[in-house]
Structure 1
Amino acid sequence: MAAQQNLTRTLKLIRLLKQRPGKTLAQLAQILECDPRHARRFMNALEEAGFIIDKEGQRPPRFYIFEDERRQQADFTEEEAQLLQVALATIADTHPLLAPLRQKIYNHSTLLPLANGLVDQHQSQVVARLAEAIRDRRQVQLLRYHSVNSHSISDRLVEPYSFSENYTRLTAYEPESETTKTFKTQRIEDVALLATAQTNPPTEVPIDPFDWPGEQKKVSLRLTYQAYHLLREEHPLTRPDLAHDPANEDFPYSYIGTVYSWIGIGRFVLGVPGQVRVDSPEEFRDYLRGRVGEFIW
């Protein structure tokens, strides 16, 4: 229990130190519910792991993680990643930070995703090969990919970029169409890892809290109690943009955030009929009306 508590505090500390303005040692200790000396030890451990912690001000100083620390920290070795995997095994699978932490470990080490972190053995093997291609910047063939949009089964040549938090979707560049797309890993029967290097390696492909890439769009929603809790549970990255408005009895919560596609957020809204009110934009309302019109009654 003590090991799990310390790991949870360390994860929370990383999140706190990424926020600006920085926080004093006393503030960090209060939020972490520990002694300031222990908070200082946690920061020392992060610095030993490669994080660059800076401070601003003097009385008292406020600490924060330097923004470019990802470019400066060393990759995990396989032994280090395996040790972290053992530590992560003590955390419940429902913990919202577990999936993104696992992905960061895999992306920064030679350790590929394990079966117990995925839905089944098939998906584990598929994701393991894709993770290797992401790490080595190589092309792959998605063998017998089942496309719902085109109602077809075909092989797809792609350049894998990244996974969604739970490994259910792959973001990849498709040279044939010259576009970045998302593919469901469960619809991939097999993966052929090619020796060909990626032709369009990403700087970083951003995805929204609903796991979709694209162009930025602002959206404003009103949520019932039920929709609010479903959104928090199913898409935890939306949490910073959720707010409580007790004056509105019917829709006491709001979500005002940035998305890159109407598809992901649209699926959520359509999945909870009557529980979400779209304040803006009109383009999103039109998208939802179009999707509703596709239903066969």
Structure 2
Amino acid sequence: MTYIEKIISLLRILSQENGASIDTLTKDLDLSPNRIYQNIRGIEKAGIEVIKDKVGFRRIRKEQLLATFNMTTKELQIIDVLKESIRKQKCIYIKEYSDSKGNVETFKVEPVKLFDNNRRIWVFDVADYQHKQFKLSRIGKLENSETPVDKYRHIDPKIDVFGSTGKEFIEVSFLLTDLACHLIKETYPESFKNIFPSSNKDFPFKFQAFVTSFWGVGRYILGMPGHIIDIKPISLLEHIKTETKKAYYFS
């Protein structure tokens, strides 16, 4: 078995429901414990959380693994450049950024934090003097800068499982069908810790979490008609009703 094949096998074993012990990994992969720990640290540096369930046991969430590998080569290169810029505490130019309205702009920013499974970057916009978030998939290219960042003006973002940011958290909950539960875990891997069993046989799962806005959670609910009920609080339900009215394109 080549070293690359051993890495692939390591990821496959760790993504199983119960994961594996270091001893098991050592025997199955014919690697020393030190090399196993070294590879695990490499996996964590790649943005994949390695969970320690028991003494000597490690596992990774399959949904997060799939989300991490569902990236283009360009996005992976952008992640590496951003991580290096954060490490060196240097500004960076985000060039040819295409926003949702079709505008293409360039921004000089101080990178603060990657989030949403490395799909977004939280930055301080030097020109606008405010924090913003950018989707990596919308970035055309990056250009390094030697300008040092002023980390004392950085604010650590409040980020919910849907990738939304804000100043305050609001508690929301709703019941889901099997399909809705599967899709929320696939699309938002961090949501697994907010899903619990429900006593409703048709909607056997309950999602309960704190969100920073209704934008992300609302967009998810609107995409699952008939598969979500008992939406709380009332203000979230009102948000869904308002957004639903906007979906009527013909009068």
Partner of 1:187: 138
Alignment of 1:165-204 (within 5 A): 165-201=116-152, 202=154, 204=156
Aligned 8 A contact 1:209 1:235 in 2: yes
CA deviation after TM superposition for structure 1 residue 132, in Å = 1.4
Could you tell which deviates more after superposition, 277-286 or 223-232? Answer: 277-286
SS, match of residue 226 in structure 1: helix
Aligned 8 A contact 1:123 1:185 in 2: yes
Match of 1:182, as an amino acid? Q
1:122 aligned residue (53, 62, 74): 74
Matched, 1:164 2:124: no
Distance change in 2, residues 1:279/1:266 (3 Å):
closer
Could you tell which deviates more after superposition, 128-137 or 139-148? Answer: 128-137
1:207 aligned residue (147, 159, 164): 159
Match of 2:161, as an amino acid? P
Partner of 2:97: 145
Aligned 8 A contact 1:139 1:196 in 2: yes
Gaps of 5+ in 1: 13-30, 40-47, 50-79, 103-116
Distance change in 2, residues 1:81/1:188 (3 Å):
farther
Aligned 8 A contact 1:139 1:193 in 2: yes
Mapped to 1, the partners of 2:94 and 2:192 lie a distance apart of 33
The number of residues matched between the two structures is 220
Partner of 1:95: 62
SS, match of residue 162 in structure 2: coil
CA deviation after TM superposition for structure 1 residue 200, in Å = 4.2
RMSD of the TM alignment (CA)?
4.0
Distance change in 2, residues 1:216/1:88 (3 Å):
closer
Mapped to 1, the partners of 2:215 and 2:172 lie a distance apart of 13
Match of 1:4, as an amino acid? L
Distance change in 2, residues 1:242/1:4 (3 Å):
same
CA deviation after TM superposition for structure 1 residue 143, in Å = 0.6
Partner of 1:262: 214
CA deviation after TM superposition for structure 1 residue 188, in Å = 0.9
Mapped to 1, the partners of 2:44 and 2:111 lie a distance apart of 28
Between the aligned residues of both structures, percent identity stands at: 21
Distance change in 2, residues 1:118/1:133 (3 Å):
farther
2:185 aligned residue (226, 229, 232): 232
SS, match of residue 140 in structure 1: strand
CA deviation after TM superposition for structure 1 residue 185, in Å = 0.9
TM-score by length of 1: 0.60
Distance change in 2, residues 1:177/1:285 (3 Å):
farther
Matched, 1:218 2:218: no
Alignment of 1:11-26 (within 5 A): none
User: Higher strand fraction: Structure 1 or Structure 2?
Assistant: 2
Distance change in 2, residues 1:88/1:158 (3 Å):
closer
Kindly provide the CA deviation profile for residues 143-190 of structure 1, in whole angstroms up to 9, marking residues without a partner as x. Answer: 121111x54111122222222343222222223444332211111111
Gaps of 5+ in 2: 1-5, 25-32, 51-59
SS, match of residue 74 in structure 2: helix
Mapped to 2, the partners of 1:125 and 1:253 lie a distance apart of 38
SS, match of residue 273 in structure 1: coil
Aligned 8 A contact 2:13 2:19 in 1: no
Kindly provide the CA deviation profile for residues 81-121 of structure 1, in whole angstroms up to 9, marking residues without a partner as x. Answer: 678548999x9x98245489x8xxxxxxxxxxxxxx56223
Mapped to 1, the partners of 2:171 and 2:117 lie a distance apart of 24
RCO (CA 8 Å, sep 6+): is it higher in 1 or 2?
2
Match of 1:154, as an amino acid? E
SS, match of residue 286 in structure 1: helix
Alignment of 1:62-73 (within 5 A): none
